[in-house]
Structures are given as structure tokens and as C-alpha cells.
Amino acid sequence: MMAATSRPVSTATAVHPLLQKLLSGPVPAVMGVLNVTPDSFSDGGQFLAPERALAQARRLVAEGADIIDVGAESTRPYGGARPVSAEEEVARLRPVLSEVIKLGIPVSIDSMKPGVTAFALDAGAVIANDVWGLQRDGHMAALLAQRGVPVIIMHNRDHADPAIDIMKDIAGFFARSLEIATRAGIGQGHIVLDPGIGFGKTAEQSMIALARLDELKRFGLPLLVGASRKRFIASVSPSEPDQRLGGSLAAHLIAARGGARIIRTHDVAETVQALRVAAAIEDKR
Ligand code: HH2
């Protein structure tokens, strides 16, 4: 029998090489948002035209993004979703995705539909971002197990309920998603967890999730936070989505301190600068 100390690391828990690379820097990796949609909550319509989407992708890269997260359906954190068919989502992605992939940085596909995710992975996307944490479509987990790509599991709820303990709800959701992932054969080392700021949460609950992010470290998996331009910021400091940069930076610095290793943002240059400066200052403690 092999001694416990020399037991090989199982492939099920080995950290995916791409994640290892993204997570190895001194500051959190920055994921830039590219919404190829007419109706995203903060920049809907701005990048629906393929040439504008590509220009924005180039800008995200130039500003220092480590990942580009491409989405073609608004996930509508605040309800009022206008569902989009898989065909429509693919039609929006088709003229844009392969050009974005050619820019040479990892691309994640922000979709809850396995068909759309498969299309994007075939085109060269290398990370799956599922805002329903493998729980909306029963085919997603099998697809991602088969493709072997890193998977972002985000907490979500159909409706916010101010009466619940949000940290307990997030932990329970993650446990269910991880169970689905394990049963499908997705390695633990392929998974990133995200509390889903603004999704099925009151402003108060989004702030609780940010303040108590470190409690989610107990899952032993990397954490991603996307607080960019979200509505909780306006509950503290009334502002339109495109006027929430200060609040987004504040939230992301607190998330980084709480253990976030990937930050999802619309404003890459400012976020990279804020993370680097905060880390340089922390270094002087
Ligand atoms: N937030 C949005 C979309 N996708 N994915 C993850 N993992 N985490 C997030 O916080 C997250 C996400 C919402 O932002 P945006 O993409 O700008 O808006 P919309 O869904 O309206 O396109």
C-alpha cells in the first residue's frame, strides 16, 4: 500500500493549469466584461455591433485584462429578463467570438445554456461561466465534465428574500452545485465559486456577501467577485450604472481583501490600478 504522504494528487482535485496560471499573480486576475447584447443593465446596446464589440475587446486587453468574459444574453441581475433563444445568442456571438479569441487572452463564455457554451468552447473559449451554477440546465455539468474546462459556479436565486440568511443560502447552493459537478465528473480543481453579487439578493445581502466573503474560503476553491456597477452601490450612493466606478472599486478592493482571486469588471484599467496600488500598500504592513 502506498504511504499517505506519497499518494499522487488525484486528477479530480488537481488545479486546472489555466486556473493555476490565472491565480498565480500577486494581485487577483481581472476579468473584463464584454456584453454583446442590446439590454445589459449597464452597457446594453453599446457593443452589439461586431466592430464595436471587437474594439471594446481590444480595449479590455490593452487595459490589462487577464480574461475576457463574453456574454450574449443579459443575465438581468435585477429581474425583467427578456429571455433569448440559443439561436439568437449564437447569432450574436458568431461574428465576434473568434475575433476576440484571436486577441490571445483566455475567453470565458457567460451563458447558462449548454448549446451556446458548447458553441463558444468549439470556437476557442476556454472557461465556462454559468450564472446558475450548473443548476438551471441538466446538461451543463456533463458538457463541462467532457470538455474539461474551468467552470465558474455562481450563486443565484429567482427572487430576493430579505428574510433569509444569505450566507447560508450561498453555502447551500454551492454545496448542491458541487454535488452536481462531482456526480458529472468535473474535477474540484476546475471550479471557481462566485457569490453572485446582485443576483437574487437585496442590496443589503449583496453587501453582506462582500463583507463576509472570507467565510466562503472554507470550500477550498478560488473565489470570483463581480460587483461592477451593481445596484447595491446606488443604495449607498444614488447613481446611474455608468456612474458607479468609485463604488465598484471600493467593493472590489474589499473583495480582494476577503479572498477574491478573480475580479469581474467593466472598467479594467481602473480596477487593475486599484488592485495593484492596494496590494503595494498592504505589502508595507
Ligand atoms: N454578473 C453579471 C453577468 N455575469 N457572471 C459572474 N460569474 N459573476 C457576476 O457577478 C456576473 C456574471 C451581470 O453583469 P453584466 O454582464 O454587465 O450584465 P448583464 O447580465 O445585464 O449583461
Ligand 1 nearest atom to the CA of residue 130, by list position: 7
pLDDT at 75: 85
List, by residue number, the catalytic residues: 230, 264
Measure the CA–CA gap between 136 and 130, rounded to whole angstroms.
Answer: 9
Residue whose CA lies nearest to ligand 1 atom number 1: 226
End-to-end CA separation in angstroms for the chain? 47
- How would DSSP label each residue in 81-149? -----HHHHHHHHHHHHHHHHTTSS-EEEE-S-HHHHHHHHHHT--EEEETTTT-S-TTHHHHHHHHT-
Residue range 267-283, pLDDT digits in tens: 999 999 999 999 999 99
pTM, rounded to two decimals: 0.95
Residue 2 has pLDDT above 90, yes or no: no
- Pocket lined around ligand 1, Cβ cut-off 6 Å: 33, 35, 37, 40-42, 71, 74-77, 110, 129, 131, 152, 154, 194, 196-197, 224, 226, 264
Residue range 79-107, pLDDT digits in tens: 666 789 999 999 999 999 999 999 999 99
User: Residue 232 C-alpha to ligand 1 middle, in angstroms?
Assistant: 14
What is the pLDDT averaged over residues 18-45? 95
User: Residue 39 C-alpha to ligand 1 middle, in angstroms?
Assistant: 12
Residue range 126-176, pLDDT digits in tens: 999 999 999 999 999 999 999 999 999 999 999 999 999 999 999 999 999
User: Residue 112 C-alpha to ligand 1 middle, in angstroms?
Assistant: 11
Pocket test for ligand 1, best of 60, 75, 108, 265 (most atoms within 8 A of CB): 75
Which domains does the chain carry? 26-74+85-282 (3.20.20.20)
Residues 6+ apart with CB under 8 A from 51: none
Measure the CA–CA gap between 118 and 144, rounded to whole angstroms.
Answer: 9
User: Residue 270 C-alpha to ligand 1 middle, in angstroms?
Assistant: 18
Ligand 1 nearest atom to the CA of residue 37, by list position: 22
Strand partners, 31: 67, 264
What is the pLDDT averaged over residues 32-61? 94
How crowded is residue 15: how many other Cβ atoms within 10 Å of its Cβ?
Answer: 19
